[in-house]
Structure formats: structure tokens, C-alpha cells
């Protein structure tokens, strides 16, 4: 089944769009809107199979255990990546099928190859995950039951490790950082066209960068900044020498902040989480893996809101405001990876897994 949002197991080589976006000269607000909230009508063709797509799924066993109790139906993997989690779910839970979503054509190509052996139990859609409701409507029959939704947020290892994607401060390449190469906003535009005030705000809000103002001023003075190596150098030089030696690579927080801005990562997350909760059948499970405090704060807030139904009654008193909780939180505080996993897979280090169950609600 293929709808406007689907790109299911492509069998032909891709005519992928150019990675370089045309320079976009609107206001910041217009640029934000120019990021496609939904995929284009025309189907995005994926690349052919990529056997070099290596991403180790984080907290894999805990994810399988989280979904093990669900009834028969569909799990939506909202961040399919190379299908590491989806493959394990399909192998270990015979009652489920998977509809995977990813906005990155490289990820979808790799996932298509891995999921092909599961035949009709696996489908893939090209979309941004805040369009999850439309993706489900376009790809699953109306009677299909959504029994699980998984979000494994952020970037995959290949996105970071492939220099040409322009995400990494360790590998020199043109500044890019778009998960969806067809969108217009890229890291080059953020670095070269944002005003000082905007740059300072995103470095502070999305990177927790203490030297946000200094870095923003240095970036503006160094324009044009066209490569990852040049941006890393400008950031390093903007930070006072003693601070450069603390907390990892000096450009780490700036790169994270620009990546989050380019991909609208924190803007779309609450929208997507609320839509996912609404899609879930009773007793279905929601599992969310986040990797930094900005993400986790949003996850926690949306889950808390759903688990109280927005109840405003004083604590300790029975609810009299008519709020209807739609989620039951299965573990307060969330789960973190074992020491063994942290050692074996440094990218799991900051992971936090929150799991919730869809409550029975009467309309
Ligand atoms: C951490 S990786 C997922 C890895 C996957 N769980 C696995 O085990 O192979 C995150 C993936 O989600 C995708 N992604 C991130 N934000 C997205 C969004 N808003 N919409 C669609 N895909 C997104 C990225 O392109 C990336 O491939």
C-alpha cells in the first residue's frame, strides 16, 4: 500500500535531490515556516540499499520489553533510522507489524533493505514525524490498531559519521545538517544569515552554551562560514582558553544547537508526541528515548499532561475538574542504559527512556 507519505521498499536507484539548498532570504519566521511541516506530495525516492549504515540501537532490550505486552496491531517507529529497533521488534514480537517513518532518505534506504525479509509486516514512510497521524491514515487501513509508538530522538550514527552530511565538528565538509536534504534551511544559512540575537538565543536554548553571545559575535565577524571545520575553529577561538579544555570538544554545543534549529527538532516534538498519544489504542505503549535535557523536558511535560488529563485540582484532593487522563506513566524518572551499554556504545551515554501505557478512556 502506498500513499502520498509512503516510500515503501524502493526497488530502483534514486534520483535524489541536490543536497545544497538554494539560499533562502526570507525573515527568520518565514524560514521556519519553509521547513516542510509535511512531506511534498511527490513521493521521495530513496537511495538504493546501503550496507554501510551502521547504527547500534540504544537500550534495545528495554525497548523490546516495553512493547512485549501490546496486543496484536501496528507499532509506529517514528524515527526508523536504519531499522535497528524495528528489526528487533519484528523478530521478537510476532503479534506486531511496523510502520516506520524517517525524513532522511539514506536512513529509509538502509531500513528498506533490513526490513525487506519481513514482507507485509513492515512499511516505510517518508515524512517528518509531526505528520504521524497523516502517515498512519495514508498507509494503514482504517481498522488498523496502533498498539505502540516509538521515538528514538536525534541523529543516527551515519548522519554524524558521514562527513558530507555536514553534521560533525570532527569531519570537514560543507555546513549542512539537514536530515531531510530537500528542505531549504541548512546550517550554512543559520551560520551566515541569522542575526546576532537569533544566534545567541539558539546557542543558549538548544546548546546550553555559556558563551553564546561571544560565539554569535565571532560567527558574524567570520562570515562567510561555509565548512564544518571553519565553524569549529571560529567557536573554539571564541571561547576563553581555560574553558576550551572542559566539557568535551568546544564546538560540541554549538553544533548541537544549530542542528536542532535546522531540523526544528524541539518545535515538532510536542506536536508529534500529542498526536502519537491520540493514535494509540487502549493498552498500547509509547516509548521515547531522548538524549539531552531539552528533549527530555518536553517529553516529561507532554507525558505528565497526558497522565493527569490536565487536571487542575489541588494535590491530595479527588479530581473534580473532569480531567480525563489518557496515559499511565509506567516508570517515574525514566530508565537509563546500563554501565556495560554506556561503555560499549558511547552514543547511549546520555539516553533516557520514558515509557507509558495508553489508558482506557470513554468518549
Ligand atoms: C537515533 S536515529 C534512530 C535509530 C533507530 N532507532 C535504529 O535503531 O536504527 C533517529 C532517526 O530519526 C530521524 N528523525 C529525527 N527527527 C525526525 C523527525 N522529526 N521526523 C522524521 N524523522 C526524524 C533521523 O533522520 C534518524 O534517522
Angle of CA points 33, 34, 40, to nearest 5°? 115
pLDDT confidence of residue 211? 97
pLDDT confidence of residue 248? 83
Distance between CA 155 and CA 176 in Å, rounded?
A: 14
Higher pLDDT, residue 277 or 4: 277
Mean pLDDT over 132-136 rounds to 98
76 within some domain: no
Do residues 183 and 24 make contact, with C-beta atoms less than 8 angstroms apart?
no
Rounded to the nearest angstrom, the distance between the alpha carbon of 100 and the centre of ligand 1 is 10
150 within some domain: no
Residue 85 CB less than 6 A away from ligand 1: yes
Residue 287 CB less than 6 A away from ligand 1: no
Looking at the CA of residue 55, tell me the nearest atom of ligand 1.
9
In sequence order, which residues have a C-beta less than 8 Å from that of residue 222 and are 6 or more positions away?
230, 234
Q: Which residues of 14-35 are buried (b: 16+ CB within 10 A; e: fewer)?
A: beeeeeebeeeeeeeeebeeeb
| Model pLDDT for residues 182-223, shown as the tens digit of each residue | 999 999 999 999 999 999 999 999 999 999 999 999 999 999
Q: Which of 156, 272, 276 to mutate to test the pocket of ligand 1 (most atoms within 8 A of CB)?
A: 156
Rounded to the nearest angstrom, the distance between the alpha carbon of 36 and the centre of ligand 1 is 16
Residue 154 CB less than 6 A away from ligand 1: yes
**Number of domains into which the chain is organized:** 1
The domain in which residue 254 lies consists of 1-8+21-67+156-265
142 within some domain: no
Cell numbers found for residue 69 = 505486552
In sequence order, which residues have a C-beta less than 8 Å from that of residue 244 and are 6 or more positions away?
236, 250
Distance between CA 28 and CA 99 in Å, rounded?
A: 34
Cell numbers found for residue 249 = 570538544
Rounded to the nearest angstrom, the distance between the alpha carbon of 312 and the centre of ligand 1 is 35
Distance between CA 56 and CA 41 in Å, rounded?
A: 32
Strand partners, 328: 357
Residue 82 CB less than 6 A away from ligand 1: yes
**3-state SS assignment for residue 35:** coil
Rounded to the nearest angstrom, the distance between the alpha carbon of 220 and the centre of ligand 1 is 31
237 within some domain: yes
Distance between CA 162 and CA 53 in Å, rounded?
A: 10
Cell numbers found for residue 178 = 539537514
In sequence order, which residues have a C-beta less than 8 Å from that of residue 137 and are 6 or more positions away?
3
Residue 83 CB less than 6 A away from ligand 1: yes
182 within some domain: yes
Looking at the CA of residue 58, tell me the nearest atom of ligand 1.
8
Rounded to the nearest angstrom, the distance between the alpha carbon of 155 and the centre of ligand 1 is 6
CATH number for the domain including 202?
1.10.150.170
Q: What is the pTM of this model?
A: 0.86
Rounded to the nearest angstrom, the distance between the alpha carbon of 239 and the centre of ligand 1 is 31
pLDDT band at 242 (very low <50, low <70, confident <90, very high): confident
Rounded to the nearest angstrom, the distance between the alpha carbon of 118 and the centre of ligand 1 is 20
Cell numbers found for residue 199 = 544566534
Residue 87 CB less than 6 A away from ligand 1: no
| Model pLDDT for residues 5-20, shown as the tens digit of each residue | 443 322 222 222 222 2
106 within some domain: no
Residue of 57, 102, 100 lying closest to 75 (CA atoms): 100
Residue 101 CB less than 6 A away from ligand 1: yes
Sign of the C-alpha dihedral computed for residues 84, 90, 96 and 101 taken in this order: positive
pLDDT band at 362 (very low <50, low <70, confident <90, very high): low
226 within some domain: yes
Q: Which of 179, 266, 348 to mutate to test the pocket of ligand 1 (most atoms within 8 A of CB)?
A: 179
| Model pLDDT for residues 25-56, shown as the tens digit of each residue | 333 333 333 443 333 322 333 343 444 678 89
Rounded to the nearest angstrom, the distance between the alpha carbon of 104 and the centre of ligand 1 is 8
Helix extents (H) in the chain: 28-34, 60-67, 84-92, 105-115, 132-139, 157-161, 187-193, 196-207, 212-222, 228-238, 241-244, 252-262, 265-279, 293-308, 339-344
Instruction: Please check the confidence at residue 295 and state whether its pLDDT lies above 60.
Output: yes
Do residues 264 and 202 make contact, with C-beta atoms less than 8 angstroms apart?
no
Looking at the CA of residue 129, tell me the nearest atom of ligand 1.
20
Amino acid at each position: 500500500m502506498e500513499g502520498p507519505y509512503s516510500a515503501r521498499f524502493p526497488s530502483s536507484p534514486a534520483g535524489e535531490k541536490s543536497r545544497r539548498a538554494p539560499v533562502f532570504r526570507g525573515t527568520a519566521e518565514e524560514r521556519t515556516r519553509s521547513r516542510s511541516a509535511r512531506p511534498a506530495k511527490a513521493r521521495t525516492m530513496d537511495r538504493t540499499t546501503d550496507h554501510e549504515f551502521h547504527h547500534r540501537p540504544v537500550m534495545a532490550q528495554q525497548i523490546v520489553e516495553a512493547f512485549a505486552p501490546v496486543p496484536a496491531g501496528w507499532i509506529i517507529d517514528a524515527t526508523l533510522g536504519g531499522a535497528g529497533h524495528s528489526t528487533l521488534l519484528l523478530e521478537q514480537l510476532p503479534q506486531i507489524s511496523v510502520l516506520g517513518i524517517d525524513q532522511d532518505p539514506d536512513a529509509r534506504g538502509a531500513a528498506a533493505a533490513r526490513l525487506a525479509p519481513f514482507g507485509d509486516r513492515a512499511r516505510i514512510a517518508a515524512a517528518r514525524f509531526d505528520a504521524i497521524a497523516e502517515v498512519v491514515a495514508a498507509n494503514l487501513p482504517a481498522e488498523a490498531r496502533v498498539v505502540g509508538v516509538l521515538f528514538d530522538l536525534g541523529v543516527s550514527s551515519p548522519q554524524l559519521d558521514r562527513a558530507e552530511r555536514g553534521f560533525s565538528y570532527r569531519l570537514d565538509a560543507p555546513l549542512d545538517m539537514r536530515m531531510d536534504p530537500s528542505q531549504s534551511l541548512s546550517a550554512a544559512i543559520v551560520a551566515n544569515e541569522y542575526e546576532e540575537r537569533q544566534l545567541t538565543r539558539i546557542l543558549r536554548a538548544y546548546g546550553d552554551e555559556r558563551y553564546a553571545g561571544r560565539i554569535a559575535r565571532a560567527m558574524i565577524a567570520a562570515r562567510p562560514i561555509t565548512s564544518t571545520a571553519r565553524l569549529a575553529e571560529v567557536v573554539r577561538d571564541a571561547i576563553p582558553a581555560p574553558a576550551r579544555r572542559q566539557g568535551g570538544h568546544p564546538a560540541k554545543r554549538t553544533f548541537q544547537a544549530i542542528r536542532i534549529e535546522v531540523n526544528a527538532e524541539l518545535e515538532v516534538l510536542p506536536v508529534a508526541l500529542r498526536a502519537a498519544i491520540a493514535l494509540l489504542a487502549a493498552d498500547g505503549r509509547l516509548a521515547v528515548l531522548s538524549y539531552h535535557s531539552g528533549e527530555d523536558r518536553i517529553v516529561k511535560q507532554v507525558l505528565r499532561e497526558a497522565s493527569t488529563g490536565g487536571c487542575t485540582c489541588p494535590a491530595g484532593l479527588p479530581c473534580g475538574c473532569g480531567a480525563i487522563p489518557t496515559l499511565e506513566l509506567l516508570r517515574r524518572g525514566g530508565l537509563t542504559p546500563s554501565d556495560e551499554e554506556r561503555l560499549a556504545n558511547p552514543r547511549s551515554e546520555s539516553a533516557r527512556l520514558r515509557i507509558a501505557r495508553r489508558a482506557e478512556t470513554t468518549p
